[in-house]
Amino acid sequence: MLAVAVPTIRADLGLTTASAAWVMSGYVLGYAGFTLLGGRAADLLGRRRMFLTWLGVFLVFSMLGGFAINGWVLVVARFVTGVAAAFMTPAAMSIITTSYPEGPQRDQALLVFAGVGAGGFSLGLVIGGLLTELGWRWVFFAPVFLAGAILLAALRLLPAEPRPEPAPRGHDLFGAASAAAAMLLLAYGIVRLEHRGEGLGLTLGALAAGMALVAAFTVIERRAKAPLVRLGIFRRAAMVRADVGALLFVGAFFGFQFVVTLYLQELRGWSSLRTAIALLSMGCDVVLAPALTPRLVNRYGNSRVVFGGFLLAIVAYGLFLPVDRDWSYAAMFPSLIIAGTAFALAYGPLTIAATDSVTEEEHGLASGLLYTFTQFGSAVGISTVTAVYGIAALGGDGSPDAVLDAYRTSLVVPVVMVLLGAAVSALGLRNGARRTARHEAAAPVTRDGADDGSPGHGRRRPTPNP
């Protein structure tokens, strides 16, 4: 919701361009920096407890942002709400994955969960445009009322859980500190790519320090008696593919959305409300994710549906590459509707694959890893298209045609990201086919050769005695 409100906030509070950018980046920094820790906290300290506690924190600091009278209060509020989301979202997802047995029921629940999230991405733009017309502070106050309603409902509907047993080997405090510091520095370095002219040395230094802390974290986890992250979880190839695929897909989606928003508002002069309504067609995932995606997953499997989503995304972003100054909405519509359809197909199945076959004790960790990759994806997508746009714009003369050329150049970034994602997801197709072949080869047969799902490993069922 905040994406279309930033220009109004900047004008009202008299913020510099850099300060206004940190209103968006602060949330990403908090979210990406603490999601891994938040996911593990849900496993160790209780999923319901983490969800309720951090939902309350989210509510309080969202209200603080609505009352902010200067930029630094707004950035702090956004950072803390990002941290709250980092603890709250993996807890919510792991509540779902532990409430349903592995199989069709859990897949259906996760597809609904992902569909609601996908709808939030798209409808947030429209709602943000409407609320900004009333006053930008409502962009902060509206989540307060929504979070309050969810908090009351959760207190009543979420079943109580036993208090977690104290960790017999203690908690991995050094691992937690190094993980949080590493994620914060990496996220900071990535979002700084948007802030050109503030010093390349600091950006590279943050990224280098973050990578060094990742290495330190790995050493700590190998030696810890009770590691925050069991490194063996990264041997699950399907989970790693899903996490990397989510990073690339979400990064491309948000990068594309960001460039289109700039094109419509800055080059075409459209209002925030008109821009939000124009992008509403990308919200088709609200309908498609719960209605179409489950049927496709049941029929073709996660891997094929994810791959189809990437292919559609390639088409969507590729169609927008030749964008012109006087394009009609009809010319833009195919890209927008196909992009929304691609999101509906890929996002939910990626969520399933990221937690599939993970033990219940590590569902919070798997969820935290997924959302860590997702948040880094959004940061990478937006920061990279912004940096590419800035470099391309520097080579122009500032005319509308030069600005348009810079937009076209930056649109190459989401195309490259979904091409890479399609290559990653194609590996899942090959491995999935092998698993299917092995399953069919080992399946028991009835008298007519059909798989009856019973143990027997190829033995024929005896003829019943008449």
Q: What is the pLDDT of residues 248-267, one digit of tens each?
A: 999 999 889 888 988 988 88
Q: What is the pLDDT of residue 195?
A: 61
Q: What is the pLDDT of residue 314?
A: 97
* 40-64 pLDDT per residue, tens: 888 888 899 999 999 999 999 999 9
Q: How many angstroms separate the CA atoms of 138 and 328, rounded? A: 31
DSSP 264: I
Torsion of CA 413, 82, 36, 115, to 10 degrees: -70
Q: Which residue has the higher pLDDT, 375 or 309?
A: 309
Average pLDDT of span 185-199: 73
Give percent of the chain above pLDDT 70.
88
- The pair of structure tokens assigned to 328 is 């009609």
* 378-405 pLDDT per residue, tens: 888 888 888 888 888 877 777 888 889 9
Coil, strand or helix at 320: coil
Q: What is the pLDDT of residue 5?
A: 82
Please give the model's pTM, rounded to 2 decimal places.
0.80
Q: What is the pLDDT of residue 231?
A: 84
Residues 332 and 281: beta-carbon distance below 8 Å:
no
Highest mean pLDDT: which of 110-114, 163-167, 230-234, 417-421? 417-421
Q: How far is CA 426 from the centre of its chain?
A: 20
The model's confidence at residue 286, banded by pLDDT at 50, 70 and 90, is: confident
Torsion of CA 217, 220, 225, 230, to 10 degrees: 30
Q: Which residue has the higher pLDDT, 13 or 317?
A: 317
Average pLDDT of span 415-426: 96
Q: What is the pLDDT of residue 316?
A: 97
Picking from 203, 288, 187, 196, the residue whose alpha carbon sits closest to that of residue 247 is: 187
What are φ and ψ of residue 333, in 5° steps? -55, -45
Average pLDDT of span 155-164: 84
The model's confidence at residue 322, banded by pLDDT at 50, 70 and 90, is: very high
Q: How many angstroms separate the CA atoms of 458 and 446, rounded? A: 8
Q: What is the pLDDT of residue 383?
A: 82
| Size (the chain), residues | 466
Q: Which of 43-52, 232-241, 285-294, 416-425 has the lowest mean pLDDT?
A: 285-294
Q: What is the pLDDT of residue 67?
A: 94
Q: Has residue 282 got a pLDDT over 60?
A: yes
Highest mean pLDDT: which of 132-136, 262-266, 418-422? 418-422
Q: Which of 156-165, 421-430, 456-465 has the lowest mean pLDDT?
A: 456-465
Alpha helix positions (H), 46-70: 47-66
Q: What is the pLDDT of residue 423?
A: 95
Q: What is the pLDDT of residue 454?
A: 36
Q: Which residue has the higher pLDDT, 313 or 436?
A: 313
All structural domains of the chain, each given as residue ranges with its CATH number in brackets, are 6-158+170-436 (1.20.1250.20)
Q: What is the pLDDT of residue 425?
A: 93
Please, what is the average pLDDT of the chain?
Answer: 83
Using CA atoms, how far residue 18 sits from 10, 236, 386, in Å, is 10, 40, 13
